């Protein structure tokens, strides 16, 4: 049986587990280490390794929420999100524009939803996303902004999860793409290079009776009453 629960200020062991799952789900070298200088990153994804201290720092922010999926008291997946705009972490700066979208009274930012590979086909990610929506609605949030890593490596699983939110919750692809450029230093005979990373941004309403659309005339997203 899988239990969902929010964890307030997770301890060192829990944060270490969050980092373990995060790194497990990223591209890694043949030893299982996250390695941004791996040659595969030229055509694959570029991610940073995270440690437990990093997660502890982010979860100490005001409005930070950790929703964990546990089996036999072990964390096998989680969703980490932020419900207070003024306390969004710096890496959410590209999402702040969503707070000005018509119909969005309060915006949450979801940084990450990840599940251990052994449970990816058990619907755990959807349970986390659904419960995240409920928690945000209870906190007075009207919409959640999320990003999908699409280039240079398409995140197929995340895209599928987001499109299910389009069908089930009335979410929408805003049509905007956040672009980051990462400078990769020379290492192991590989020359220094710049990798362009792109994230598609989605907006998902938190309440039944509303949906997100992109206005045909202005091309801008907004929240409207569901038909």
Q: C-alpha angle 122/128/132, rounded to 5°? A: 165
- The residues near 174 (Cβ < 8 Å, ≥ 6 apart) are 98, 201, 202, 203, 212, 214, 221
Q: How far apart are CA 58 and CA 107, in angstroms?
A: 18
For residue 21, give the 3-state DSSP assignment: helix
Q: 3.40.1280.10, 3.40.630.30, 3.30.43.10, 1.10.3720.10: which CATH number matches 2-225?
A: 3.40.630.30
pLDDT in tens, 58-78: 999 999 999 999 999 999 999
Closest CA to 158 of 191, 196, 110, 100: 110
Q: What is the pLDDT of residues 122-138, one digit of tens each?
A: 999 999 999 999 999 99
Q: Which pLDDT belongs to residue 103?
A: 97
CB atoms inside a 10 Å sphere around CB 30: 7
- Residue indicated by tokens 């202005």: 218
């Amino acid at each position: 049986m899988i239990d969902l629960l929010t964890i307030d200020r997770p301890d060192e062991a829990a944060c270490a587990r969050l980092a373990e799952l995060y790194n497990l789900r990223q591209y890694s070298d043949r030893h299982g280490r996250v390695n941004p200088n791996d040659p595969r990153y030229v055509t694959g994804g570029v991610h940073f390794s995270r440690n437990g201290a990093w997660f502890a720092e982010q979860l100490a922010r005001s409005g930070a929420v950790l929703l964990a999926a546990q089996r036999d008291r072990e964390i096998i997946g989680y969703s980490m999100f932020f419900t207070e705009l003024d306390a969004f972490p710096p890496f959410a700066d590209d999402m702040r524009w969503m707070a000005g979208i018509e119909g969005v009274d309060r915006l949450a930012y979801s940084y990450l939803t990840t599940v251990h590979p052994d449970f990816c086909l058990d619907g755990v990610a959807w349970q986390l996303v659904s419960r995240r929506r409920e928690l945000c609605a209870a906190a007075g949030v009207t919409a959640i902004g999320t990003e999908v890593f699409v280039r240079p490596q398409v995140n197929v699983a995340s895209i599928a999860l987001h499109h299910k939110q389009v069908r089930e919750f009335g979410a929408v692809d805003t049509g905007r793409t956040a672009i980051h450029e990462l400078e990769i230093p020379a290492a192991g005979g590989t020359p220094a290079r710049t990798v362009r990373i792109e994230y598609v941004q989605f907006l998902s309403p938190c309440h039944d009776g509303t949906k997100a659309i992109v206005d045909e005339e202005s091309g801008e997203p907004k929240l409207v009453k569901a038909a």
